[in-house]
Amino acid sequence: MAVDAVPSGRTPAGRLAGRWVPWSVIGLWLVLTVVMGPLSGKLSSVTTDKAADTLPASAESTKVAVLEDSLPGGDDNTFVFVYHRAGGMTDADRATVERHHNTLAQQYPPKALAPAGEEDEGPRTRPSADGKAMMFTLDVSTTYGAPEAIVGPLRDAAKDRPAGLELDVTGPAAVDGDMDAVFDGIDLQVLLTTIVVVTLLLVITYRSPVLWLIPLVAVGAAALTSMATVYLLVKGFGIVVNDQNSALLTILVFGVGTDYALLLIARYREALHHHENVRVAMVHALRGAAPAIVASAATVIAGLLCLLVADLNSTSGLGPIGAAGILCALVAMLTLFPAMLVLLGRRIFWPAIPRFSTAVEEKPGLWVRLGAAISRRRWVATLGSLGVLGVLAIGLVGNTSALREQDQFVSAPESVTGFSVLRQHFPELGGQPMTIFTRPAYQERVLASVEKIPGVAVAIPGQTSGGWTDISVFPADAPDTTAEYDTIKRVRTAVHAVSGAEAIVGGPSAENLDTSVTAGRDEKLVIPLVLIVVLLVLGLLLRAVVAPLVLMATVIVSFAAAFGGSVFVFDTILGFKGVDYSVPLLAFLFLVALGVDYNIFLASRAREETVRLGTREGMLKALSATGGVITSAGLVLAATFAVLTTLPLVMLIEVGFLVAFGVLLDALLVRSVLVPALTLLIGRRMWWPSKLSRPAEPPDGQRPRADDEEPALQR
């Protein structure tokens, strides 16, 4: 019988459905927004992309970076000016290069002073052997600003040159400056693009001129609160937040928060047909949807917190950052969002207002027909789904090599093209310089051991300061290549063998090498841990062993297919030159934690229905009841991650495409076809060892029922 009155105030439902509750909830959120709003804007002030902050303290290149920063002039930004003319440098060209060098050296004098009695003349110009280029390096103190702020004025200062004389400003600092320029304003761009995408999808989903605004406001409040929370975590616990993780935080909160909104609205709309009072309807909607939403959030949070065991600071920092975002989204969508819906009443659904009625006709639709087809062709559905996933997984044989830093840009900036020009005219300076720190007394021995190493082009002793001497070593091979990395490893082995020198090797390429190695170690540690944690959460939720194992197996197969299909697109269609080191772990985490969400929504509803209808009818009922809303949720989540593909950085494009593609596979194929087919094949054994896995005793004189005929069971 329909419930059309407010329950007694002495009951939990009555307390939740009280008139004062929605107003109180909204009031608390308004206070929270006022308090947290100013803090959210400070998040960008604590983001960092410095290698010393990103890499673990134990990494050798981190030790070099920290030591450099502690020495006079050690934190200078190094820029390389490469002048070139196809027909050969003229006298006027050479005079221009000298003039630019002298002007810039005076404009940006080094912070460190030369020893008494000696004059630090600074870097000098260098002609190429082919006579077609000249170059010089310029070390600019950090007191003049960050690379992003300096590289533009440096390029402008060198514009006055003869016609036909080309210039590329490159070097480690120029690459950092161009990279920072990509991230400049990225948070706002991601936020605005995400809002537009989510708005369009909500309008299409609900076909209402007003309803779309409510989840958007609630998710916006969650995003603001999450940014403020992350800022407080950084200030209180020293968590590392880089620009990449800041962008991912926005995507996570909007994507997951909108998913929760879709699930709750579906239950609320259903409840409004059975309950005249909107507050009572919301209480019943929360009772039905909240357990699955909380389980979903718990799964994602648990998976994200597994990142805390990672050595890479940028990876381990994403754990609490993402967990804070998911938690804020969960709280907002289970408190603020329902309160707003209740206060606005049924009219918020206009023009398709759900009317109170005790008899709501359920018309057979797409998902009922799909369920019937799967039930008739279980093996076909299972093998067909696995066949599609298997074909996509073949893409894993494509180019999965590590992406070089210079290949991170969709459109190569001047700093990247400059490296190619530098290598063309100065092959002896082909790679980025390594920095070796050694004790002064052992400088000659270390230098001698390095100069004879294959792959080393030039080794130049530097200044002595603070009890250390630095040596600049130029590899012969291009930056961030396997050959250059092998040279770095050989150099490290050689200098470590000099007893007493305490020599350590760092530099931009060494940092990238250490990052790649550390990321590989983190994958081997984090991925098994995520699988175990998610499996335990599924086991507790479903109170079974077989079902969680089956669901996890489908998610893993789905990830392999998504990764393989994405690699094919990256390599063959987009022409990317590899996969960023951070992509596999991030994509695995998001696809396992988020992808299993849809299985949670389906399986938890299936278990609920199995109690009444048996495994077969329970799964078909769950598929028909959740098919539309979960598909909509998958489309929204995929679209929010796809926002990352609009950014000019290959790493973010790869993460965005891979996760979006994987979410669509999970929502449209794995959850819609493969999981129902496997459940129907396995039958009640899916719920082993719970009571649902055991057949009910047939009445005397009757034959045991087949699995398809199993009766309703009790919990």
The identity of residue 263, as a single letter, is L
Whether residue 497 is contained in a domain is answered as yes
Looking at the structure, do residues 461 and 391 belong to the same domain, yes or no? no
In contact, 426 and 135? CB cutoff 8 Å? yes
**Nearest C-alpha neighbor of 505 from the set 63, 55, 58:** 63
Task: Clarify whether residues 437 and 326 are in a common domain.
Answer: no
Number of domains in the chain: 3
Look at residues 276, 275, 299 and name the one whose alpha carbon lies nearest to residue 288: 275
Amino acid at 594: L
Domain co-membership, 621 together with 669: yes
pLDDT of residue 278: 86
CA–CA separation, 635 vs 388, rounded Å? 20
Residue 308 lies in a domain: yes
Among candidate residues 361, 386, 405, the one where a domain is terminated: 361
| Helices within 378-481 (DSSP H only) | 378-393, 414-425, 443-451
Q: Which domain holds residue 658?
A: 373-397+513-693
Residues 567 and 551 occupy one common structural domain:
yes
Give the Cα separation of 294 and 657 in Å (integer). 27
Residues 502 and 539 in one domain: no
Do both 552 and 654 map to the same domain? Answer: yes
136: helix, strand or coil: strand
3-class secondary-structure state, position 383? helix
Q: At what angle do helices 243-272 and 583-613 cross, to 10 degrees?
A: 20
Q: What does the CA dihedral 174, 177, 178, 180 come to, rounded to 10 degrees? A: 160
186-206 helix and 213-237 helix, angle to the nearest 10 degrees: 150
The angle formed by the CA atoms of residues 134, 140 and 146, to the nearest 5 degrees, is 120
Does some domain include residue 252? yes
Q: What integer pLDDT is reported at residue 124 of this predicted model?
A: 79
| Residue ranges in the chain modelled with pLDDT below 70 | 1-18, 49-52, 72-75, 110-123, 185-187, 358-364, 430-431, 693-715
Q: Of 506, 529, 544, which one is at a domain's C-terminal end? A: 506
Asked if 546 and 446 sit in the same domain, the reply is: no
Q: Does residue 141 fall inside a structural domain?
A: no
Q: Are residues 295 and 442 in the same domain?
A: no
The pLDDT of residue 203: 80
Residues 673 and 544 in one domain: yes
Residue 283 falls inside a structural domain: yes
398-413 confidence digits (pLDDT tens): 888 888 877 888 888 8
List pLDDT tens digits, range 91-148: 999 999 999 999 998 888 765 433 333 344 444 788 998 999 999 988 888 788 878 8
Tell me how far apart the alpha carbons of residues 575 and 579 are, in angstroms, rounded to a whole number: 11
Contact 410, 653 (CB under 8 A): yes
Find the CATH number of the domain harbouring 441.
3.30.70.120
Q: pTM (2 decimals)?
A: 0.80
Q: Are 571 and 658 in contact (CB under 8 A)?
A: no
In a domain, 159, yes or no: no
Residue 619's domain is classified under what CATH number?
A: 1.20.1640.10
User: What whole-number distance in Å separates Cα of residue 36 and Cα of residue 515?
Assistant: 34
User: Of 483, 506, 529, which marks where a domain is finished?
Assistant: 506
Pair (221, 325) in one structural domain: yes
Task: Report the C-alpha gap between 263 and 8 in whole angstroms.
Answer: 27
488 and 601 fall within a common domain? no
Of the candidates 156, 93, 81, 174, the one whose C-alpha atom is nearest the C-alpha of residue 426 is 81
* Residue among 138, 39, 76, 68 at smallest CA distance from 511: 68
Same domain, residue pair 252 and 205: yes
Q: CA 548 to CA 545: how far, in whole Å?
A: 6
Are the C-beta atoms of 218 and 339 separated by less than 8 Å?
A: no
Closest CA to 132 of 97, 75, 84, 74: 84
* Predicted pLDDT at 332: 93
User: Chain-centre distance of CA 110, in angstroms?
Assistant: 39
Q: From CA 514, how far away is CA 312, in angstroms rounded?
A: 10
3-state secondary structure of 684: helix
Q: Are strands 126-127 and 468-475 parallel, antiparallel or unpaired?
A: unpaired
Q: Which residue carries 């609900």 as its tokens?
A: 206
Residue 66 forms part of a structural domain: no
Eight-state DSSP code of residue 346: G
The reply to whether 151 falls in a domain is: no
Of the candidates 670, 53, 690, 11, the residue with the CA atom closest to the CA atom of residue 316? 53
What is the enclosing helix (H) or strand (E) of 526?
helix 508-542
CA of residue 704 relative to chain centroid, distance:
52
